[in-house]
Amino acid sequence: MLIRPAADDFRTIAAALGRILLVVAGAALFPMAWALLGAEWHPLGSFVLMAGVFAIVGVVLVSVSLQPSRSISADQQHLDWSHGMVVVALTWIVVPLIGSIPLLLSGHYANPLDANFDAMSGLTTTGLALVQDLDHLASSLNFWRHLLHFLGGQGIIIAALVLFAGRGVTTLFAGEGRDDRMLPSVQSTAKAIWAVSLLHLTFGLITLTIVAYAALGFSPARSVFHGLMIFFAAFDTGGFAPQSTSLGYYHSALFEGVTAVLMVAGALSFGLHFRLWNRDARRRRAGIGAQSGGRDDANWWPILRSLEVRSILTTFGITMVLTFFGLAGLGIYTSVSGLSRQGFFQILSAHTGTGFATVPSQELALWGGLAFGGMAIAMALGGMASSTAGGVKAMRVGIVSRAIMDDVKGDLLPEGALVDDSYYQFGRHRLTSEVARSAMIVSLLFVGLFLLGAGVGLAYGVPLQPALFESVSAGASVGLSVGVTSPTMPVVLKITYMAEMLLGRLEFIAVFVLIGFIYSWVRGR
């Protein structure tokens, strides 16, 4: 029998959601300041309106949660697992809804659905877009689109954890698809994630700005703008770009190279970043580098033997080889340098889940055969767990592969022989049936999501290859497009891609819990 949620459940959820919306209201001050500095008065008014709506809704929800409860006191009220999942799912629905207000009022979107599509794409770090005449969009609106990447990639949930302590916050952390707690508490882990992000922001912004100014000849202000926008989209594996031709606009191998470094950094788990930096700090304190002439290759072995690292290196190598052979067979690029540069960047963009492109979508649509297979597989697999990337994730790929190999070994070995059921991931872990089953279930859910989106595309007359490509791009939070995503596509297909973005970004569970919560509210006793 289903238990209908009580009033205290709604108060608990309202308190957490309200605080998160207040965090987003504070984040809205940044595009407001940008519009003010650029004298963009119309966007400024729309940002004030949006921030006001976020603040009002947040205050109302917090106020409702403070109403006295007959069953429990305020200090006893805390998030349990289901509450946290519901809060996370609602956050990823409500924030794009309110956050689309400036986009809708800009005149660059045909209707509210298109504006909400782009806001959802921004927050889920997908990068598919329905904006019209992007090249003439106000810079403050472009800034807001890219800031949504930053909020979604680092996580407004993570920001809320830093600002608001309390019991039950672990469920918010897990509900957002993060499971790598680097430090003893979730709050300290959240602070570490933001420290990693801000350090990369400093490096990325300075480097991209210098390249744009020195190599591309941009003005100082324009260099800073493009450097910041590209950093947001690259490190957060988002894919939005300030120009309609994506990274092809810059025509610079150096600019692409710096961006590629940031893309890889974004696809690596925050836990790996933290361990790498801690390792270097410990070595400096111990004076290891100076005593060994700067060489300490043995200390890299624990990283290279990690199941997740090996998995992502293997799948990247396989998909790159498939794509290169496919492109060579198609004969689209006549020179080795052209094939290598375009093929490598596109497959890196696909596998990291970034969604940048250096070729037009019409040209990408010609990548058939092995090239299409390599790109589609790379997008579906994605980056590491607890990173800003989407997709199945390298950790799950490694666990599923290892579980299958262990089963095969068990059948081949003599009866009674034992199979080593452990794997290395910064320490020895047992590969239990529960771990393998969980990884397999989520992987199959992703496959089902990709096929469902492709099926909807086929129903509207989209050919199989582009329908599958676009569905994988939406469900794996990538953002590469072969031209299917456009303001003229059917409404049902737009809603389908938005649902894929949400489910893929939150890895299903939070959304399923929200649906179950609503069903219990309606049908429970």
Mean pLDDT over all residues of the chain? 87
* Dist CA 486 CA 488 (whole Å): 5
Nearest to 146 by CA among 18, 52, 271, 34: 34
User: What pLDDT score was predicted for residue 176?
Assistant: 57
Which comes out higher in pLDDT, residue 405 or 278?
405
Phi then psi for 423, rounded to 5 degrees? -140, 160
Please check whether residue 163 is in contact with residue 23, taking contact to mean a CB–CB distance below 8 angstroms: yes
84: domain range?
1-179+508-525
pLDDT tens profile 168-217: 555 665 555 555 555 556 667 777 777 888 889 999 999 999 999 999 99
Range name among 116-130, 133-147, 160-174, 508-522 with the lowest pLDDT average: 160-174
Nearest to 222 by CA among 233, 211, 236: 211
Q: Taking residues 76-89, report their average pLDDT.
A: 79
Residue with tokens 């459940």: 9
User: What pLDDT score was predicted for residue 394?
Assistant: 92
Nearest to 8 by CA among 80, 59, 93, 92: 80
Chain-centroid distance, C-alpha 44: 28
Judged by DSSP in three states, 429 sits in strand
Range name among 275-279, 382-386, 430-434 with the lowest pLDDT average: 275-279
Angle at 44 between CA 41 and CA 49, to 5 degrees: 130
Q: Taking residues 26-43, report their average pLDDT.
A: 95
Query: Which band of pLDDT confidence, cut at 50, 70 and 90, is reported for residue 412?
Result: confident
Nearest to 239 by CA among 126, 143, 141, 348: 126
User: What pLDDT score was predicted for residue 74?
Assistant: 46
User: What pLDDT score was predicted for residue 382?
Assistant: 93
* Dist CA 514 CA 525 (whole Å): 18
3-state secondary structure string across 386-423: CCCCCCCCHHHHHHHHHHHHHHHHHHHCCCCCCCCCEE
Instruction: Give one DSSP letter per residue of 54-84, joined into a string.
Output: HHHHHHHHHHHHTS--SSS-GGG----HHHH
Does 361 fall in a domain? no
The yes-or-no verdict on residue 285 having pLDDT over 80 is no
User: What pLDDT score was predicted for residue 170?
Assistant: 58
Judged by DSSP in three states, 377 sits in helix
Does 345 fall in a domain? no
Taken as a whole, the chain contains a residue count of: 525
| CA distance to 34, 236, 386, per residue, from 393 (Å) | 35, 15, 9
Please check whether residue 8 is in contact with residue 47, taking contact to mean a CB–CB distance below 8 angstroms: no
* Portion of the chain with pLDDT greater than 70, in percent: 86
pLDDT tens profile 339-354: 888 999 999 999 999 9
Range name among 88-102, 135-149, 369-383, 410-424 with the lowest pLDDT average: 410-424
Integer Rg of the chain from CA: 23
Which comes out higher in pLDDT, residue 237 or 190?
237
Does 350 fall in a domain? no
Residue with tokens 């092809």: 248
Number of domains present in the structure of the chain: 1
pLDDT tens profile 429-469: 888 888 899 999 999 999 999 999 999 999 999 999 999 99
User: What pLDDT score was predicted for residue 335?
Assistant: 84
Does 82 fall in a domain? yes
How far the first Cα of the chain sits from its last, in Å, is: 8
Using DSSP bridges, classify how beta strands 422-424 and 428-430 pair: parallel, antiparallel or unpaired.
antiparallel
Does 59 fall in a domain? yes
| Cα Dmax for the chain | 77
User: What pLDDT score was predicted for residue 298?
Assistant: 47
Does 44 fall in a domain? yes
Does 513 fall in a domain? yes
Which comes out higher in pLDDT, residue 56 or 155?
56
Nearest to 471 by CA among 502, 449, 487: 449
What is the 8-class DSSP label of residue 155?
I
User: What pLDDT score was predicted for residue 59?
Assistant: 95
Does 500 fall in a domain? no
